[in-house]
Chain A
Amino acid sequence: MNKYFKNKYKTLVLTLTIASSLTILISIYNEQNALFFDSFSNFFLMPIQKLFTYTEYALYDFFHHFENVSDLLKENEKLIAEIENKNVEISKIQSLVIENKDLKKMLDLRQNSPKINIEISKIISRNAGNIYKTFTLNKGEADSIKNNQTVITVDKYLIGRIHEVGQNWAKVITIFDEKNAVGARVVRSLELGVVESDYSFDENLCKMTAISSLTDITIGDYVETSGGGGIYPEGILIGTVLEIHKNPGSIAQTATIKPLADFNNLKNVFILRYGE
């Protein structure tokens, strides 16, 4: 026995074996002692355990972060797609709101003018240029659209007239087009004239010609259709007088007219069908 303990290595192994066995038994059988041992070991090892745990969490966070990057990128793509879809939906809703307003206006117009058949139509294409002198509508012969029918905005301002008709489309020439001349009158004084295009003027404007030099006309006067010529019905507002050009020695004068219709932001229009 003494010889055995003289061998340091064997003593070490024996000591460690006994120590291990004891700790096993303590931790299994005696909870109190096990708790004491736990407390004792924790006293020395808690800082190391904390360090382990801290490192574990730090490493986990570190690697988890990289795992998350790919997940986040996927989620980001998904969210971008969702936002795009939502934007499309919002755009559709806004479009429907505008259409709804336009339809309400058409309903009002129908109720106020029972003799007029009103067809609402969408602009499907415009010709190139900043101010559109012609544009195409999505209604045609199938909807009883015919040449020379009057086209107005939903706010009942004059746009022009139907110029060409297909099965399910119709082209409109506006009051800016040189082919279009509108019999007009000053709302306040009922003095007559003709509203037509004039390229010498600003392209956003028209001119009113054939006005007598004796006519009572002032800047700001409203101009409407007179019903002369048989194309346009009377009483549709065209625009306001912006300038008056008096020619010395002439019996006629001209006026610059600013149309009330906003030609750049047209979307839906009304086509007036009389006598049907």
Chain B
Amino acid sequence: MKFIYHIFIIYLFIIAQTTFIEKYNIFGIKPNLLLILITSISLFNEKTISTIIGFFIGFVYDIVSSKVIGLNALFFMYMAITYSETSKIIKKNFLINTIYIFIFTFFYNIFNIAVLSMFNIKKFNIRFSISILIECLYNSLINIIFYILNKKIFCLTNNPKLNKKEALF
């Protein structure tokens, strides 16, 4: 049942990311909802499931919006692993959670641009570095909303005996 639920959530987020999120851009930069989704899923699921989901989301995202298939899959998978490994710390601290998403957004973009530059697919420029910073801030801001949703509505983040079946993600 949870598998179908996850598929449904991923489906919704990918649609959101590829459709109306365009309208909510800041200086032309839109947030990466899938990155935020992985953090939320990884916090409330087992490491193996988080890894597979991270890979799956990345892979679907690659197919939907990337020319290089596997790039997002690889990064999202390792991101999910990192989140799962450190979920106990992240759940308890709101600030760490926000810093994490900021750093992951930053590295996600650096990783992408590094690989693409390496193979001469895209070149790095100053404008891109500014857009990375905006995206980092935007993602952090949206992540706060998800964090509050998890904490206030589902009362989960600070509960040491977390019932994973009741988690939002």
Contact = CB atoms under 8 A, between A and B. Distances in A.
A41 B74 contact: no
Contact of A21 (B14, B23, B52, B70): B70
Interface in B40-96: 47-48, 51-52, 55, 58-60, 62-64, 67-71, 73-74, 77, 81
B18 A28 contact: no
A27 B71 CA distance: 10
Contact of B77 (A20, A22, A24): A20
A4 interface: no
B14 A52 contact: yes
A13 interface: yes
Contacts of B58: 20
A55 B8 CA distance: 13
Nearest to A53: B18
A28 B119 contact: yes
A85 interface: no
A35 to B, nearest CB: 12
Interface centre among A20, A38, A49, A55 (most CB of B within 10 A): A20
Provide the main secondary structure of the chain B interface.
helix
B121 interface: yes
A190 interface: no
A59 interface: yes
Contacts, number: 75
A9 B49 CA distance: 10
Interface in A1-24: 8-9, 12-13, 16-17, 19-24
A56 interface: yes
B15 A20 contact: no
B81 A23 contact: no
B4 to A, nearest CB: 15
A24 B51 contact: no
A34 B121 CA distance: 15
Interface in A86-120: none
B64 A24 contact: no
A59 B15 contact: yes
B74 A52 contact: no
A95 B18 CA distance: 59
B19 interface: yes
Contacts of B119: 28
B155 interface: no
Contacts of A21: 70, 74
Contact of B74 (A24, A26, A27, A38): A24
B130 interface: no
Interface of A: 8-9, 12-13, 16-17, 19-24, 26-28, 34, 37-38, 41, 45, 48-49, 52, 55-56, 59-60, 63
Interface of B: 11, 14-15, 18-20, 23, 47-48, 51-52, 55, 58-60, 62-64, 67-71, 73-74, 77, 81, 115, 119, 121
27 contacts: A8-B48, A12-B48, A12-B52, A13-B77, A13-B81, A17-B74, A20-B55, A20-B77, A21-B70, A22-B70, A23-B62, A23-B73, A24-B69, A24-B70, A24-B74, A26-B69, A27-B68, A27-B70, A28-B119, A41-B69, A48-B60, A49-B63, A52-B11, A52-B14, A52-B18, A55-B19, A63-B23
